[in-house]
Structure 1
Amino acid sequence: MPEARRWRVLALAVLLLGTVTACSGQKGAEPSPGASDRRAAAPTEQAPTPALQPYYGQRPAWSECGDGFECAKVQVPLDYGKPDGERIQISVNRLRTEDQRQRIGAILLNPGGPGASGLNYARAATSVLTPQIRDRFDVIGFDPRGVGESTPIRCLSTERLDDYLSLDNTPDSDAETGALEEGARRFGAGCQATSGKLLPHVGTVNAARDIDVLRAALGEPGLTYLGKSYGTYLGAVYADLFPNRVRALVLDGAVDPALTPIETNLTQAAGFEVAMRAFVEDCFKRASCPFQEHRVESALTQVEDLLRRTDRTPLTNATSDGRQVTEAWAALGVITPLYDKRSWATLRQALTSAFKGDGTELLQLADILIDRRQDGTYSNQTEANMAINCVDGEFPATVAAYRKAADQAADRSPRFGEPVMWSSLPCAFWPASPTPIPAPLDAKGAPPILVVGTERDPATPFRWSKSLAAQLSSGVLLGYDGDGHTAYLTGSNCVNNAVDAYLLTTRPPAKGTHCRS
């Protein structure tokens, strides 16, 4: 696979910096009147209600859409509390297994984000699933509501989104803090102006209910699913809503639903520090290592100094797009390769250039993470990510609260803490009210659910996987002593074999299984 294409595939499975949130609340609370999107308003159902039967009874009209795939649209209600009201469409694609006689069923994929395209992820099936799984399952990709080709959220023009992502997210003056607040307010106002009707309904509960409609439309009696990063949260919510409709769920690189958004940001920032240390220690073994001294603390300080220098004087940009490589862009560029150990050589090269004043490669890496295309346009990944997170969690409502949280995050993560925390600031002024999901999620009555966690995952720390596996009544944890974000098909035969065996047979590995290669 060409390097640029491989990077795009890796970027699809990311947990976007600082904006994925978990939800807080007490499980079992009654919903307020009219709160039709809350989990409590969507009880576990043995059969769809009469009003939902038209959705559950539909069959996709598949048509060829290139590279062996078929594409279709599935209709779902905008508001599940008003199923006779407005409808929206979920875009779906399918790669059928060549030997239908050996077919077990269909496997649905979600790469995370939230906001990443599942359609694109499915088209990378050879990098996402082993041949053994592709031989036995139809591969199903879908863009969740608000994402990509499924009635997408739109908020800002390309130029305005460039401006927003260029803001100084380590503010050290009232003027810089004020600019962040103005940018955050403008972001929310843009979403309201362009997608206001959709904003209250893009939360994870509705996305999970859409999955159940899709499962039925595909003719699957039980859901087989591979979710990574935020996709683990989506899968866990599905299992909690529909435990009796689960066949096999693999939740790789788990989000912990029991954490508040601020706790999530704090833990994630610390996770990037762990990954950065692992990268530095590995770097010392390589001839191309750019650090002046082969001491961990010295190398980390060199990276921190680089980012602080770009706060004052941007690095050069050899492309013709006119952007300055400020600290915000440089930090995103450093973070991107931390998601996959196989890409650490790319980070070594980018840092080598950056230490000499050239930020072009860091900027190109940042573009991959946020899905900015070569022509300068964006997918709606960043906008959908913000919209979904802001309605899923209850965030602080004041700039002062973010300032306090950012200072706390900087203590734990000197290089990444502040950017992670400030990146959620638009949620303080979001035009749609949050509808948080009561936690923890136990999915009582579901068959075994496999949760996979990587010890030095930069975005979803291993403790999150342990926590989710413990919350799920049938959760089974598969640990991996490795680096990078998520574990399946990232280099461990032990993980690959255990996941495949579970997907094929629904039998999880023994409790306590921990892979080391």
Structure 2
Amino acid sequence: MANPCRLRAAALTTTVLLFAVLAGCGGSAKDGDLTAQELDWQDCPAPSEAEGGGSAPSPLPGGTAWQCATMKAPLDWSRPKGDTIGIALIRAQADGPANRRIGSLVFNFGGPGGSGVTTLPAFGADYTTLRTRYDLVSFDPRGVGRSAPVRCESNSQLDEYFQQDATPDDKAELAEFINRTKQFNAACEKNSKKILPHVRTTDAARDMDLMRQVLGDDKLHYFGISYGTELGGVYAHLFPRHVGRAVLDAVVDPTQNPEQGALGQAEGFQLALDNFAKDCTSQPKECPVGDTEQQVKARIAKLLADLDKKPIPGIFPRRLTETEATNGIAQSLYSKDFWEYLTEGLEQAYDGDGKVLMLLSDSLNGRSENGEYSNLLAANTAISCSDAKPRYSPDYVQRKLPEFRAASPLFGPFMAWGMLSCTDWPVPGAADHPDVSAPGSAPILVVGNTGDPATPYEGAKKMVEALGRGVGVELTYKGQGHGSYDSKNKCVQSAVNGYLLDGKVPKAGVVCS
């Protein structure tokens, strides 16, 4: 949860076969010019283990099938004629009149480390209106899923990793926590040495500009969510003249370093927990978690303290620890739709049954029901640590703990200790924070949600300011959950659709509720 995100798997032989099949799907480039490559769109295979496994995507309502291809991109963008890697793509073609088609609308759903090839089909029906004028396109960024995936530890090792105590209370627990983090980072270096130096957000942004050209678009039309907003901002900085119609939703604050970001997330998840407690205790029926807002939070805190001393049965043979319970609570706060599962999970945990909270935790960590993990954690760590320059020491975290606890008694310590995840990373970080200044760019619609736990609302204003005068246009949604467009709020969707479909830029400062 130090880098909150989301989600399965196939046998190794199947994965190897998929790589073999897809290696030839990138088409050929003329004289080494990768912009001239032709994509060979085919029916999509079942997701690979690194993407989370499962079944091949079902057609959209109406019958449109999803198509997949692989784009060749330089492994090292400083050597564009050198070795290449495959970037996995997925699309659903526009279903409106051909003379109304604008081009491709490229999605990144965040993480970093989330597979766009699996996420876009899962939410494709939500973008039906946008498909009237765009091909819907997404991709696995480099290091993710089927795009030269970062690989670190095995499934059994990851089970141990997520069972560890991530909020050490004494020297012995701290030593174990530090050692476990070193082991994970060393496994990443051993198993993914070639790709690790080349998974920065700037590399992914350059891949997107190549993608724009290979897809045949003069401008990149883009919809970025969560970390996808950072990627979109970095793209706008590098290629301001190539920005088409772009929307950034659930906005990462581009001015913050990792410490500030972790503190902001602690505050954001605490706000969401406060809102959950208020909602539960304001319903006509009795709140099963507590009679008052304060009692709800106090009982959750006691549950976690009890689990720190003695875990309870979860999904056999694993037991629900304090760390996994905290993960499960965090996952349920991403959306108000999940609050009923949080209530159920807490009720069960009070009775000694940790299954629901563990299921929520598994979802956050990318673990399938059959015990296999996507490469979400590996990619998330690799991209985050390659991007961020600061490296924090245990002594520094110890000094910062009071500040984090003040921000959130429940989530603060968890977020603080998570800052050690990059301390022994084998690749140096690029910068304190990303550069998203984009003078000369077309307008970019920036949508902030006042109740967002993972990307606090203040980040939207900071993104607008950082993009520069005349570029960022802020829209506020007074709601709950991570993101705004997927809340199905009519005001938000009307503004976003109006811009993407018709080029109508909303007035700055519009508020939707």
TM-score, length-scaled by structure 2: 0.88
Q: Distance in 1 between matches of 2:95 and 2:451?
A: 37
Alpha-carbon spacing, 1:219–1:464, altered in 2? closer, same or farther (3 Å): same
Alpha-carbon spacing, 1:402–1:53, altered in 2? closer, same or farther (3 Å): farther
Q: Distance in 1 between matches of 2:118 and 2:126?
A: 11
1:343 maps onto 2:341 in alignment: no
Amino acid at match of 1:275: A
Q: Indicate which of 440, 443, 459 corresponds to 1:445.
A: 440
- Give yes or no for contact 1:448–1:506 (8 Å, CA) kept in 2: no
Match of 1:3 in 2: none
Match of 1:489 in 2: 486
Match of 2:40 in 1: 61
Where does 1:163-202 land on structure 2 (aligned, <5 Å)? 163-202=160-199
Alpha-carbon spacing, 1:314–1:100, altered in 2? closer, same or farther (3 Å): same
Q: Indicate which of 109, 121, 134 corresponds to 2:107.
A: 109
Q: Distance in 2 between matches of 1:368 and 1:177?
A: 26
1:299 maps onto 2:283 in alignment: no
Match of 1:501 in 2: 498
- Give yes or no for contact 2:388–2:431 (8 Å, CA) kept in 1: yes
Amino acid at match of 2:367: R
Q: Could you list the per-position Cα deviations for residues 147-174 of structure 1 after superposition, in whole angstroms to 9, with x for gaps in the alignment?
A: 0010100000111111111111111110
TM-score, length-scaled by structure 1: 0.88
Classify the secondary structure of the residue corresponding to 2:129: helix
Match of 2:3 in 1: 19
- Give yes or no for contact 1:125–1:139 (8 Å, CA) kept in 2: no
- Give yes or no for contact 1:332–1:366 (8 Å, CA) kept in 2: yes
Unaligned runs of 5+ in 1: 1-16, 22-49
User: How far has the Cα of 1:440 moved from its partner?
Assistant: 4.6
Q: Distance in 2 between matches of 1:466 and 1:77?
A: 35
Q: Indicate which of 221, 227, 234 corresponds to 2:224.
A: 227
Match of 1:247 in 2: 244
- Give yes or no for contact 1:449–1:476 (8 Å, CA) kept in 2: yes
Q: Distance in 1 between matches of 2:4 and 2:419?
A: 9
- Give yes or no for contact 1:227–1:235 (8 Å, CA) kept in 2: yes
**RMSD over aligned Cα atoms:** 1.8
Match of 1:375 in 2: 370
Q: Could you list the per-position Cα deviations for residues 321-374 of structure 1 after superposition, in whole angstroms to 9, with x for gaps in the alignment?
A: x11100010001111111111221111111111122211100001111111001
Amino acid at match of 1:161: L
Q: Indicate which of 84, 94, 99 corresponds to 1:97.
A: 94
Q: Distance in 1 between matches of 2:75 and 2:501?
A: 34
Match of 2:355 in 1: 360
User: How far has the Cα of 1:298 moved from its partner?
Assistant: 2.1
Q: Indicate which of 425, 429, 437 corresponds to 1:430.
A: 425
Q: Could you list the per-position Cα deviations for residues 402-422 of structure 1 after superposition, in whole angstroms to 9, with x for gaps in the alignment?
A: 222344212211001111222
Q: Distance in 2 between matches of 1:197 and 1:423?
A: 25
- Give yes or no for contact 2:476–2:510 (8 Å, CA) kept in 1: yes
Q: Could you list the per-position Cα deviations for residues 26-62 of structure 1 after superposition, in whole angstroms to 9, with x for gaps in the alignment?
A: xxxxxxxxxxxxxxxxxxxxxxxx9997122212111
- Give yes or no for contact 2:237–2:435 (8 Å, CA) kept in 1: no
Alpha-carbon spacing, 1:51–1:192, altered in 2? closer, same or farther (3 Å): farther
Unaligned runs of 5+ in 2: 6-28, 45-56, 60-64
Amino acid at match of 1:123: P
Q: Indicate which of 261, 266, 271 corresponds to 1:269.
A: 266
- Give yes or no for contact 2:30–2:37 (8 Å, CA) kept in 1: no
Classify the secondary structure of the residue corresponding to 2:445: strand
Match of 1:4 in 2: none
- Give yes or no for contact 1:51–1:83 (8 Å, CA) kept in 2: no
Classify the secondary structure of the residue corresponding to 2:233: helix
Match of 1:158 in 2: 155
Alpha-carbon spacing, 1:151–1:404, altered in 2? closer, same or farther (3 Å): same
Identity, % of aligned positions: 38
Amino acid at match of 1:135: T
- Give yes or no for contact 1:227–1:251 (8 Å, CA) kept in 2: yes
Classify the secondary structure of the residue corresponding to 1:303: helix
